[in-house]
C-alpha cells in the first residue's frame, strides 16, 4: 500500500501544522495509519481511531471478475443508450466520471456485496444492528477526470448545541455549507456517524488511477472541509476484491485518474434506519427484482418498518405494503 502525502506525516518535522491537523494523533497514539487487513477487530478499531479502514481480500478472484464484467457491461450499456449519469461539471467538479446507480436492479451478484458479512459487521459496529442501504452505486473514474472536492457524507447532520444556544435547523442545512474548520479533534461534543460508506475495489485502487483520498482522523473534528485539497490527505491503495470503508463524518473525495484505464469503485452505502436514503430504494426497485428478494435484502432496501417508521398501514407488519394494496377512499 502506498500513501500519497505520507511524507508529511512520517517525517514528524513540522511539515504539517500540528495545531490544526490530525497529524498529532501519530504522536499521541503512536500507531501507524490503517493497513489492509482481514482482522475484523482491527478494522473496527481503525474506523474508530482514524475514521476509515482497509478491508483486504473480501471477494475471491472469480467473483471480482464476474462483478467487474457485469458492471463494465452495464456501464457501457447505459452509455450506449445515453442513460449514463455524469455529474455536470459545475455540480461535482467533474463531468468525466460515470455513476451507475441502483445496482441491485442490475444483477443479483451485486446483492452479495450488500449482504457481505464484513460489510454488515462494520455497518453494525458504526450504525447499530439495524441499518439500511442508502445507495448501491458504482463510481467509475476515467482518465482525464477531476479530483472530487473533499466532503463528508453527512453534511446534513445538525451540529450539537448547548441549551440556550440557537439550534441548527436540519431542513436549512445545505451541501457544502459548512461549518468549516480544521480536521483536529473537536474539544466539544460532536454528532455521531449516521452513514457508513463501504467502497468496494472492483479494480485495483492506485494513486495513479484515482484511489479515494481521505484525511485521517477528520471524523472527530465535528466540522466540514472546504473542498480544497490538503497536504494531510492520504490515498490508500488496495487490490481488487478489497474495500476502503469510511465513517460518514470522514473528509474524503475521489482522486485524479492519470492512468490509461478506468478505476471501478462500487459503494454499498449504509445508513441508520431513520435516515433518508440517498436513493429512493422502495420507489426505484424494479418489480421483478423485488419478487426475487429475500427478507434481509428487503430490510436493507427499506421495505421493513423500523419501530413504526417507514410503515404504510400497519406499523407492526414485517414489511410495508405498496399503496395499491392499502385501503383507499371507502
Q: Does 153 bind ligand AKG (CB under 6 A)?
A: yes
Site for ligand AKG in 163-202 (CB under 6 A): 197
Q: Does 8 bind ligand AKG (CB under 6 A)?
A: no
For residues 29-42, one letter each, b for 16 or more C-beta atoms within 10 angstroms of the residue's C-beta and e for the rest, the string is eeeebbebbeeeeb
Instruction: Please check whether residue 206 is in contact with residue 259, taking contact to mean a CB–CB distance below 8 angstroms.
Output: yes
Binding region for ligand AKG (CB under 6 A) out of 121-129, 220-228, 248-256, 305-313: 248-256
Closest C-alpha to 225, from 175, 273, 262: 175
Q: Does 252 bind ligand AKG (CB under 6 A)?
A: yes
Q: Does 139 bind ligand AKG (CB under 6 A)?
A: yes
Q: Does 242 bind ligand AKG (CB under 6 A)?
A: no
| Minimum distance, C-beta of residue 278 to ligand AKG, in the bound complex (Å) | 9
| Minimum distance, C-beta of residue 224 to ligand AKG, in the bound complex (Å) | 13
**Alpha-carbon distance 112 to 294, whole Å?**
12
Instruction: Please check whether residue 196 is in contact with residue 126, taking contact to mean a CB–CB distance below 8 angstroms.
Output: yes
Which parts of the chain fold into alpha helices (H)? Answer: 6-11, 24-29, 40-50, 61-80, 89-92, 111-115, 117-127, 281-284, 287-291, 295-300
Contacting residue, 154, 235, 242, 254, with ligand AKG by CB under 6 A: 254
Select 218 or 254, whichever has its Cβ closest to ligand AKG.
254
**Alpha-carbon distance 273 to 277, whole Å?**
9
Contacting residue, 253, 262, 272, 305, with ligand AKG by CB under 6 A: 253
Binding region for ligand AKG (CB under 6 A) out of 56-64, 181-189, 249-257, 298-306: 249-257
Select 122 or 304, whichever has its Cβ closest to ligand AKG.
122
Contacts of 278 (CB under 8 A, 6+ apart): 134, 135, 269, 271
Q: Does 148 bind ligand AKG (CB under 6 A)?
A: yes
107, burial (CB in 10 Å: exposed 0-12, middle 13-18, buried 19+): middle
Q: Does 238 bind ligand AKG (CB under 6 A)?
A: no
Residues that bind ligand AKG (CB under 6 A): 139, 148, 153, 197, 212, 252-254, 265, 267
Amino acid at each position: 500500500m502506498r500513501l500519497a502525502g505520507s511524507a508529511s506525516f512520517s517525517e514528524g518535522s513540522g511539515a504539517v501544522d500540528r495545531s490544526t491537523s490530525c497529524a498529532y494523533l501519530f504522536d499521541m497514539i503512536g500507531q501507524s495509519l490503517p493497513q489492509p487487513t482481514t482482522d475484523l477487530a482491527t478494522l473496527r478499531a481503525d474506523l474508530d481511531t482514524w475514521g476509515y479502514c482497509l478491508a483486504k481480500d473480501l471477494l475471491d478472484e472469480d467473483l471480482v471478475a464476474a462483478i467487474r464484467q457485469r458492471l463494465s457491461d452495464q456501464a457501457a450499456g447505459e452509455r450506449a443508450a445515453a442513460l449514463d449519469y455524469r455529474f455536470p461539471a459545475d455540480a461535482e467538479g467533474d463531468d468525466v466520471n460515470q455513476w451507475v446507480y441502483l445496482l441491485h436492479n442490475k444483477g443479483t451478484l451485486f446483492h452479495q456485496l450488500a449482504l457481505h458479512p464484513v460489510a454488515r459487521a462494520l455497518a453494525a459496529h458504526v450504525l447499530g444492528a439495524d441499518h439500511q442501504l442508502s445507495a448501491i452505486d458504482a463510481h467509475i473514474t476515467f482518465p482525464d477526470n477531476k479530483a472530487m472536492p473533499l466532503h463528508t457524507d453527512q453534511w446534513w447532520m445538525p451540529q450539537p448545541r448547548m441549551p440556550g444556544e440557537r439550534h441548527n435547523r436540519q431542513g436549512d442545512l445545505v451541501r457544502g455549507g459548512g461549518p468549516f474548520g480544521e480536521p483536529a479533534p473537536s474539544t466539544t461534543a460532536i454528532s455521531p456517524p449516521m452513514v457508513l460508506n463501504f467502497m468496494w475495489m472492483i479494480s485495483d485502487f492506485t494513486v495513479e488511477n484515482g484511489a479515494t483520498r481521505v484525511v485521517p482522523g477528520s471524523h472527530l473534528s465535528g466540522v466540514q472541509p472546504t473542498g480544497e485539497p490538503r497536504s494531510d490527505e492520504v490515498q490508500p491503495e488496495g487490490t481488487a476484491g478489497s474495500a476502503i470503508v469510511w465513517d460518514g463524518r470522514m473528509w474524503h473525495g475521489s482522486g485524479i485518474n492519470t492512468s490509461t484505464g478506468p478505476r471501478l469503485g462500487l459503494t454499498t452505502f449504509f445508513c441508520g434506519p431513520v435516515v433518508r436514503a440517498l436513493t429512493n430504494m422502495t420507489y426505484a426497485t424494479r418489480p421483478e427484482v423485488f419478487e426475487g428478494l429475500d427478507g434481509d435484502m428487503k430490510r436493507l432496501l427499506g421495505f421493513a418498518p423500523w419501530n413504526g417508521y417507514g410503515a404504510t398501514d400497519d406499523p407492526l407488519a414485517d414489511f410495508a405494503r405498496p399503496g395499491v394494496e392499502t385501503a383507499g377512499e371507502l
